[in-house]
Structure 1
Amino acid sequence: MTVASPRVANTASGSATVGVQAEAIHGDVNLYYAPPDATPAETFELGLRYLSGGMPEKARECVGDAVARGYVTSRSCFYLVLAMVSGRTVQQMTDADLTALRSLRGRLSRQPRDAWTDAAGAVMRLIDSLESHEQDPRILIKELEELAPAQRIEITRHLEIFLHGPLQDWIWQRAFDQARRDQRADNRTERVWKFFHPRPARARVRVPRPAKVDLVVYLRCAAASIVLALLTAFVAWAAWQQDWPITLSTLAVVVGAAVVSARTIAEWRFRTVRRGAKDRALLPRQRRPVGAVDGFTRRIERSIDRYFGRYVPGNADRADWLAFTSGIRAALRDELAELYRESRISARRVDWLIRFTASEVKSGWQEGHLWEYRTRLRIPAHLKVLCVLAIAVVGGGLGRIVAEAVESRPFSAIGATVVGLLAGWAAIRDGLGIFVEHRRFAADVAEAEDLLEARVAAYERWCQRLADKPSDLEMARWLDCDRKVLMDDAMRHYKLAPRNLVAHAFIEAPAPGRKQARVRNGPWRFSRYRLLIFLLTEDGVRQMTVESDFEKARFHGMDRLNYRFDAVAAVQVAEADDGHKTFELTLVNGHPIEAVVTAVSIEPHEDERSVSRVTLDAAGLSNTLHVLEGIAAEGKQWIHHERLREEGRLGKLASAVHEMLE
């Protein structure tokens, strides 16, 4: 946002060019949604949510539609009147509103007396008092104080702009006091940050690559094994003819040793290959250039770099840590891109998984678990000794059998032995490859199951932590409290009472460096706001601008600017090519006062105009434009003209209210 300095002729850096740090659209929350065939009761409840969410324009539509379709209760009549005056001045009441007020007379008269009818009557008498100056405001104030707390709080919240005079002083003071009590209510500072986190994507793991061995390898291994078996049998038969007792005992020992050697060689080979593969996974890796990956993968990569840069072990240099984990980060990026790209989800929804992985790698580094696999896959000394002894026994035994066979059939035994050795080498080579591949798959499946279990547990912990995420209605209530507290501070600073104001207006705009989120069909909420308050008095405009840290409920960087009515040159809302809408107020000396008030990200099923409309409604832009456009066009005469217009409108409004009160 760009704000003119009260001291020098310059402008601060505009927020229109500041990128959004993070955003989330809670599409699974249907707070502001009703089905096309919604009943009048459902439409009314939707209108109440709009009203509580700070969007009175949409509230008037829904509540009015529900009452018109026959949903008439004392409660619906009360909220219809409240929606008509919320966020508006008398001058902004339309003829259609007056007609709707008149139509409530008969409907309210048929309702049994309860807290809602009392509250509706109190609002009507408050409106009537604007035109009739004979009523004692103390009587009306006493009536308001006797209302039930729920109804009284609603009245003080929504009639702040509509009323003036002593009643306005009372209403505002109650509203300001309530705002200070509620500003940090319901554990706000510990919960607001959760609103800006999207619903986490469910835990997934990459499906292990199935064991894949070419058919040629199977056939070659089988053929070599058959050849080896036949030639071994031939050599053994030749040796049997020479000395069958020695051949029989030697053959029994060779077979047993061969089984032991096969098992130990296979285990040795698997452990060696497995450990080498895991070593390579931890090795620093040259990452692909950013241009070689898509947008989703780039966002994943940025999140991975951010969290690994945050989770640095205490005993490691950050640069060394990032260099060491480059292979881990690249593997994680590729895995997440493969697992979640096709799900059409925001990359931020897997931030919890990235954070969990970074934390696990950090703890693994610190506690030595990162290299635990090397201990687990180390070849034990007894396995090495057993393998070597078994091979030696097989070699010695076969040598004895071959020697006996050569004495019986020299040439054929030698030829069979040579070919058998070649076939044995081929069978062992291919057999070990097949065994290691199937064993690799089984190990991958076991590790994937363990990893999935750990990720599911982390996912559930994160969901549990986000379980008390505030609703949009709570966010709207806290924002309204911030606005009222700021207004109270501004009026205290300028030593103004509510009755001293001709009018007031405000704008809630996103501040640089904010996070943003919204529920489906709802307005954007921000973690940092630029709040602008315009206080109009007989002498001119007092403007106060602060930056609000919404998560911590704190104000920073207060700027004050005073100018006369005739100093306002132009007021407008400009729409950029990218859809951003910017409020622009230009002073005659050229000072621009700007605030970006809408964002453009929507879900595929949403209407961009609808989202923009509710965001502008929640930002308070309608009344602000009404006030500031008036003074830009008429200058100080706007005060006089507005009062004349208001008197004319008050007459019609009082007539409609009188009919209801009779």
Structure 2
Amino acid sequence: MTPPTSPLPNVNATDSHIGMIASEIHDSTVYFVLPDAPPEKKYRVGVAYLRDGVPSRARELIDQARALGHDSAEVRFHWMLAMLSKRSYRDLTVDERELLISTSRASEAFAADDWTRSLGTVHDLLSCLGDTGSDPEDALRQLAELPQPQRDQIVRHLDLVLTGSLKDRFWAGIRRNAAETRSSMNRENRVWAYFEVPPSKPRTRKPEPSQVTRRDRVRALLGELVAALGAGYLAKTLLVAARPLPIAAYLLAAIAAYYAIQSGFHWRYQVQRLAVKERQFRKRVESGSPGGFARNVSDSFDHYFHRYAPDKVHRGTWLAETAGVRAALRNEIVDVYRDQRVTVDNVKWLIRYCIRDVRAKWRNDTLFEHRKRYRASAKTKTICVLSTTTFAGMATYVAAAALDSDLLFTLVAALLFMVGTATSVPAWSFIVSERRREIEDTGDYWDVQNARQQEYERWSRKLADTMPSEAEMENWLNADKTIVLDEALKHYRLAWRDVLTHAFLQTPAENSRRARVTGGPYRYSNYDIRLFLITLDGVREVTTGLDFEHIKLVYLERTNFRFDAVSSVHVVTPTELSCNLALTLMNGEPRDIHVSSYVPADNLANGVEGSVVEMSLDAAGFAHTLHILEGIAAEGKHWIERDPYLTKPTNSLHEELSSTS
């Protein structure tokens, strides 16, 4: 374990809470069960809750299944485990103990199989606890001979029941299994996915629709009509005069006009598009309010542009050359997601993808591809200049020839042609450019959107394939707690026969991330694991910080206190949906241990308030820990005498207690 690097947080204000970095809810059907579901379905979901560390909910569902007639040795076995999981025998009421015994005895009515044997083994183990003078050897032998799945379930769920000398017999195996389980199933590379925020679907800024109006079309058509009238009259005049050279010049002027207009439109479009793209990449990042979505997106872009800087490139050069692209991408993401209930964590996958795409284009020298795409070629420029010059010369010659035949009407026709051309050419240039821009932008939009959709699907598949199941998360956490328990026993040089009982209380650490599946309890990226070891000498409290994702025990604090040192224990509820445990010692400050809290957004998302808190408290081991501490606070050392299943006879225990008083 890593030695302490900082003091443990001691929250004294009853309305305080542990800060959470993120809180996510993953869609899942594991725990989905309708009120009118068949009993088999309720039983299966109940077993899932038991497996995943929520025995109270498991008891409720298995009870419902049994009440509807679904009964067998297997069902009763799991019901008994749900009754005993995360509870000591002392935690059970008298009615619950009698119900356990009667349920296990009824196993004789079922056909002999592994489940019947397992049910009988649980009955024999409970009988040993109820009769302190009985020999547990036969029950332990039965436990050892059970198939591994049933044996492992009994050892796990009866952890607080099989204590004292009973646990000495198989503690080495439990410890060895925990050490193997902690790093199994590629845990260190998978836990992060459980706390990862679900990605928002990809969005791309849609292209602007064509800006062409009806007025633009009318202007172009009227101008074209006027120019055609003027050109037509000039053609008529030349044909009437029947002069070959002016007629040939007219035809050559028409051909030159066609190429001049075509190349001119293209050249103008290229220049305008290049200017638009350059302005787009010169946009500055708009500052957002601190903590707002826009500011968080800006911070993420800055972070990932530094992180994904190409190798062997000066970071300053990379950042300077991509500043405009970074601003454009940042502004796009802020704009397209601004109207959604989206946080920056939902779009970080897209930010990372965009930056990786920028890096790839930067390496391939295609980042500013628009400069090549919209650079007018020398051929286009040459054709435009030559055709325009040719048209001007031929048009002048044609006009002069026409003036010789009809001065007045030729002047009117020439004026109409010039006015119509000056009106229609810019209008048609705008219409054609807008049509071309819209087609290009739409194609670019779908190219980008499809690429982002593919990345979204890839990332979603990775999360789904990587994210651990609830059973894996629970098994890893149990293994971590077992290691904490083993380290504490070694430190205090205690054997299990020296431990009367123990309790775990797992609480969220400061600034931890949290997540849960629909219908399940919260799980955290960092825990404060509190272990209470109850011995004849008093209470030994061990607090360990667990970095669950990286499998590290990050700090450790130990506290010892006598039974009579506990002044009071009570539950503090700053809000209806949060819970703190206040522990006061005779010679110390009150300690407010944060156990659970609730985020109102979860209520909006799922409509289940209290049940989530209850499940989280159940998973944390809150009820058992509270029961022990309340008993010690109320009765001190003599609280132990009421324990019905100590490994020592009550009279010898009383003598030992008296001798230590």
The normalised TM-score by structure 2 is: 0.90
Matching residue of 1:637: 638
How many aligned residue pairs are there? Answer: 640
**How many Å separate the matches in 1 of 2:93 and 2:243?**
117
* Pairing partner for 1:600 from 598, 601, 607: 598
Quote the offset at 1:477 in angstroms: 1.2
CA contact (8 A) 2:515 2:523 kept: yes
Verify: 1:385 aligned to 2:385, yes or no: no
RMSD over aligned CA atoms reads 2.9
Q: Which moved more, 1:579-588 or 1:12-21?
A: 12-21
Query: Cα deviations across residues 426-453 of structure 1 (Å, max 9, x unaligned)?
Result: 2111111111111111111111121122
Matching residue of 1:376: 373
**How many Å separate the matches in 2 of 1:645 and 1:496?**
20
**How many Å separate the matches in 1 of 2:33 and 2:536?**
45
CA contact (8 A) 1:546 1:559 kept: yes
Verify: 1:526 aligned to 2:527, yes or no: no
Matching residue of 1:64: 63
Quote the offset at 1:204 in angstroms: 3.4
**How many Å separate the matches in 2 of 1:302 and 1:31?**
37
Matching residue of 1:585: 583
CA contact (8 A) 2:104 2:120 kept: no
Matching residue of 2:23: 23
Matching residue of 2:362: 365
Change (3 A) 1:545 1:332: same
Matching residue of 1:136: 135
Change (3 A) 1:334 1:283: closer
Verify: 1:474 aligned to 2:475, yes or no: no
CA contact (8 A) 2:286 2:331 kept: no
Matching residue of 1:494: 492
Verify: 1:188 aligned to 2:187, yes or no: yes
* Pairing partner for 1:450 from 444, 447, 456: 447
Matching residue of 2:202: 203
**How many Å separate the matches in 1 of 2:571 and 2:253?**
93
Q: How does 1:229-628 map to 2 (within 5 A)?
A: 229-290=228-289, 297=294, 299-314=296-311, 327-340=324-337, 344=341, 347-466=344-463, 467-577=465-575, 579-601=577-599, 602=602, 603-628=604-629
**How many Å separate the matches in 2 of 1:8 and 1:213?**
68
Matching residue of 2:658: none
Query: Cα deviations across residues 311-351 of structure 1 (Å, max 9, x unaligned)?
Result: 33456666776676565455445544554455645553322
Q: Which moved more, 1:422-431 or 1:319-328?
A: 319-328
CA contact (8 A) 1:192 1:551 kept: yes
User: Which amino acid is the alignment partner of residue 489 of structure 1?
Assistant: E
Quote the offset at 1:621 in angstroms: 0.9
Quote the offset at 1:400 in angstroms: 1.1
User: Which amino acid is the alignment partner of residue 190 of structure 2?
Assistant: R
Query: Cα deviations across residues 252-306 of structure 1 (Å, max 9, x unaligned)?
Result: 2222222222221121122112222221221141404428xx9555554554444
Quote the offset at 1:188 in angstroms: 0.8
Change (3 A) 1:9 1:577: closer
User: Which amino acid is the alignment partner of residue 610 of structure 2?
Assistant: R
**How many Å separate the matches in 2 of 1:119 and 1:106?**
12
What secondary structure is seen at the aligned counterpart in 2 of 1:604?
helix
Change (3 A) 1:148 1:355: same
**How many Å separate the matches in 2 of 1:584 and 1:318?**
52
CA contact (8 A) 2:533 2:539 kept: yes
Quote the offset at 1:596 in angstroms: 2.5
Quote the offset at 1:105 in angstroms: 5.5
Quote the offset at 1:578 in angstroms: 8.7
What secondary structure is seen at the aligned counterpart in 2 of 1:186?
helix
Change (3 A) 1:30 1:572: farther
CA contact (8 A) 1:241 1:408 kept: no
**How many Å separate the matches in 2 of 1:313 and 1:284?**
23
CA contact (8 A) 1:272 1:377 kept: yes
User: Which amino acid is the alignment partner of residue 450 of structure 1?
Assistant: D
**How many Å separate the matches in 1 of 2:449 and 2:568?**
60
User: Which amino acid is the alignment partner of residue 217 of structure 1?
Assistant: D
CA contact (8 A) 2:520 2:615 kept: yes
What secondary structure is seen at the aligned counterpart in 2 of 1:493?
helix
Matching residue of 2:655: none
Quote the offset at 1:374 in angstroms: 0.8
Q: Which moved more, 1:274-283 or 1:303-312?
A: 303-312
Matching residue of 1:659: none
**Runs (5+) with no aligned partner, structure 2:** 651-661
Q: Which moved more, 1:498-507 or 1:113-122?
A: 498-507
**How many Å separate the matches in 1 of 2:422 and 2:563?**
98
User: Which amino acid is the alignment partner of residue 545 of structure 1?
Assistant: T
Change (3 A) 1:353 1:96: farther
User: Which amino acid is the alignment partner of residue 83 of structure 1?
Assistant: A
CA contact (8 A) 2:281 2:327 kept: no
**How many Å separate the matches in 1 of 2:576 and 2:357?**
41
Change (3 A) 1:393 1:595: farther
The normalised TM-score by structure 1 is: 0.89
Q: Which moved more, 1:29-38 or 1:73-82?
A: 29-38
**Runs (5+) with no aligned partner, structure 1:** 651-662
Query: Cα deviations across residues 361-405 of structure 1 (Å, max 9, x unaligned)?
Result: 233334422112211221111111111111111111111111111
Q: Which moved more, 1:144-153 or 1:465-474?
A: 465-474
